């Protein structure tokens, strides 16, 4: 018989019945369960909304306070971040870093394509052809600049609207196509007596800065001269400490004035940089070129073939006039030269105070040298006297020893001996003192 294959024995047990889960019908679900489920979903959504709001708050942490001024002095407070400002005024991000706290003590007037960045002491602003954005307007040092903008901008631009109406009526010419040319820039400049908007803001900023620096110099002069006079009369530790603080304040103030002065001098030395600051001129030129290009294209499509030649001539003349205007920086040059001379005068005042400090220090050093010389002369005199007394002490010490000699038994010898020895030492003192005066080692 064949053998069966080997196999493990299987345990035979009872099979457990399968559990069946009975699902309640749809109609049997209680409204309380539905409410609980809705609340759980709502809780998830609100937590997500809270997370997004926290993210939004984190994103707006970098926002800073700005104040916007238009041409007519109307102002409003804005809270914008860096990206919003960059998109609004079309400047690179490094210009905003210049306006940051790291470069707070630097002085810069930068020209960009559509804006001018001003960083002068505490005034940090971005100026365009239509508006000015001022950073940290609630600072107590910036408040005078804000007040000047509110007072001067409406008055400077009030009659400019009336002149604009006259220009529009007189300088607009109707071309053969029926369209209107924009005002001629030369005629507009002839009627316009005031500076462009960006130069008005720059003038107000320079005026506030120069006034602030002048007031600081006046305070420095008022405090400096009494302290220096007191030091000249009495050289003491307290007076020297006052002069040291005064000199440190003067050095810082001179550096601040020098930075603003050097920035203006840098602009005056470069006509191209000054030409780039004419934002209104560039804005008008762009508007004119766009209008001329649009008019020329309409003329090419609808009218005679001779019109493109005329439009090209006009565009060429406009380009040449723009090139000539780009090098016309006389208005800005006169403005910068005026404030450059004012800053030069402020710098000269500081240098005069510095010279007075140097003169006082020289006078004090002369006094100290004189006192040092007197001490040296006194020391020399005492040294001569000590030498003479030392000789007499040597003689007295020699005779004071317990050595027998014949004069010790002579009666009345002590007085004449001591008197003669003292006279000899005094004569030696006079001889050495006369020799020192003969060699001019001692004062007469």
Q: In the prediction, which pLDDT does 63 show?
A: 83
Q: The domain spanning residue 75 has which CATH number?
A: 2.40.128.330
pTM for the predicted model, two decimal places:
0.67
Mean pLDDT for all residues in the chain: 75
271 belongs to a structural domain: no
Of residues 222 and 318, more confidently modeled: 222
339 belongs to a structural domain: no
**Measured between alpha carbons, how far is 269 from 272 in angstroms, rounded to an integer?**
9
Closest-CA residue to 72 (of 166, 156, 196, 129): 156
235 belongs to a structural domain: no
pLDDT band at 409 (very low <50, low <70, confident <90, very high): confident
Q: In the prediction, which pLDDT does 325 show?
A: 55
Q: Structurally, how many domains does the chain consist of?
A: 2
The encoded tokens of residue 278 equal 């004419």
pLDDT band at 3 (very low <50, low <70, confident <90, very high): very low
Residues 6+ apart with CB under 8 A from 317: none
81-129 pLDDT, tens digit per residue, is 888 888 888 888 888 888 877 666 778 899 888 899 999 989 999 999 8
329 belongs to a structural domain: no
Secondary structure of 155-214 as H, E, C letters? HHCHHHHHHHHHHHHHHCCECCCCCECCCCHHHHHHHCCCCCHHHHHHHHHHHHHHHHHH
190 belongs to a structural domain: no
**Measured between alpha carbons, how far is 150 from 154 in angstroms, rounded to an integer?**
7
User: Among residues 118, 144, 170, which one ends one of the domains?
Assistant: 144
Q: In the prediction, which pLDDT does 257 show?
A: 94
102 belongs to a structural domain: yes
Whether residue 317 is predicted with pLDDT greater than 50 in this model: the reply is no
Average pLDDT estimate for 178-182: 38
Q: In the prediction, which pLDDT does 46 show?
A: 37
The encoded tokens of residue 111 equal 């020209």
- In angstroms and rounded to an integer, the radius of gyration of the C-alpha atoms of the chain is 47
Backbone φ/ψ region at 60: left (φ over 0), alpha (ψ -120 to 50), beta = alpha
Strongest mean pLDDT among 35-44, 177-186, 290-299, 429-438 = 429-438
User: Among residues 116, 144, 172, which one ends one of the domains?
Assistant: 144
Q: In the prediction, which pLDDT does 294 show?
A: 64
User: Among residues 144, 163, 196, which one ends one of the domains?
Assistant: 144
319 belongs to a structural domain: no
Of residues 324 and 80, more confidently modeled: 80
Secondary structure of residue 255 in the 3-state scheme: helix
Strongest mean pLDDT among 20-24, 200-204, 413-417 = 200-204
Residue ranges making up the domain that contains 93 = 62-144
Do the Cβ atoms of 352 and 360 come closer than 8 Å?
no
Question: φ, ψ for residue 178 (rounded to 5)?
Answer: 95, -5
* C-alpha 155: how far from chain center: 30
CA-to-CA separations, 214 to 179, 347, 369, 390, in angstroms, rounded:
54, 9, 37, 67
| Residue 54, CA atoms < 13 Å, CB-side half-sphere | 6
Whether residue 12 is predicted with pLDDT greater than 90 in this model: the reply is no
106 belongs to a structural domain: yes
Query: Cβ atoms within 10 A of the Cβ of 273, count?
Result: 16
275-309 pLDDT, tens digit per residue, is 999 998 888 887 777 777 766 555 444 433 443 33
324-375 pLDDT, tens digit per residue, is 455 578 889 999 999 999 999 999 999 999 999 999 999 999 999 999 999 9
Closest-CA residue to 128 (of 142, 117, 120): 117
**Measured between alpha carbons, how far is 320 from 326 in angstroms, rounded to an integer?**
10
Q: In the prediction, which pLDDT does 338 show?
A: 94
């Amino acid at each position: 018989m064949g053998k069966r294959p080997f196999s493990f024995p299987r345990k035979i047990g009872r099979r457990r019945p399968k559990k069946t889960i009975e699902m309640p019908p749809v109609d049997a679900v209680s409204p309380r369960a539905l409410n609980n489920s809705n609340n759980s979903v709502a809780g998830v959504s609100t937590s997500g909304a809270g997370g997004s709001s926290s993210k939004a708050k984190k994103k707006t942490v970098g926002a800073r306070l700005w104040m916007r001024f238009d041409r007519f002095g109307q102002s409003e407070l804005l809270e914008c971040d860096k990206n919003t400002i960059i998109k609004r005024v079309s400047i690179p991000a490094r210009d905003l870093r210049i306006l940051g706290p790291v470069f707070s003590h630097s002085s810069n007037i930068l020209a960009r394509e559509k804006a001018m960045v001003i960083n002068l002491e505490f005034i940090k602003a971005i100026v365009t052809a239509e508006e000015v954005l001022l950073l940290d307007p609630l600072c107590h040092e910036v408040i005078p600049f804000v007040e000047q903008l509110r007072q001067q901008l409406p008055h400077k631009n009030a009659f400019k609207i009336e002149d604009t109406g006259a220009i529009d009526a007189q300088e607009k010419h109707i071309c053969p196509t029926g369209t209107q040319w924009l005002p001629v820039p030369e005629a507009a400049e002839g009627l316009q007596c005031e500076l462009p908007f960006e130069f008005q803001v720059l003038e107000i900023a320079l005026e506030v800065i120069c006034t602030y620096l002048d007031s600081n110099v006046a305070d420095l002069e008022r405090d400096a001269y009494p302290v220096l006079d007191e030091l000249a009369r009495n050289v003491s530790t307290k007076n020297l400490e006052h002069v040291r603080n005064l000199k440190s304040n003067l050095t810082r103030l001179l550096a601040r004035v020098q930075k603003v002065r050097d920035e203006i001098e840098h602009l005056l030395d470069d006509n191209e940089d000054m030409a780039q600051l004419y934002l209104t001129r560039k804005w008008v030129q762009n508007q004119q070129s766009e209008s001329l290009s649009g008019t020329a294209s309409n003329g090419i499509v609808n009218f005679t073939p001779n019109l493109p030649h005329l439009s090209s001539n006009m565009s060429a003349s406009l380009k040449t006039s723009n090139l000539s205007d780009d090098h016309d920086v006389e208005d800005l040059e006169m403005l910068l030269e005026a404030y450059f001379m004012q800053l030069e005068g402020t710098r000269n005042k500081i240098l005069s105070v510095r010279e007075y400090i140097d003169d006082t220090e020289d006078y004090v050093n002369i006094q100290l040298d004189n006192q040092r010389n007197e001490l040296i002369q006194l020391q020399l005199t005492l040294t001569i006297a000590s030498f003479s007394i030392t000789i007499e002490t040597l003689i007295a010490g020699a005779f004071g020893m317990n050595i027998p000699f014949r004069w010790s038994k002579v009666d009345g010898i002590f007085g004449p001996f001591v008197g003669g020895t003292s006279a000899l030492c005094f004569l030696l003192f006079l001889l050495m003192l006369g020799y020192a005066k003969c060699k001019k080692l001692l004062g007469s």
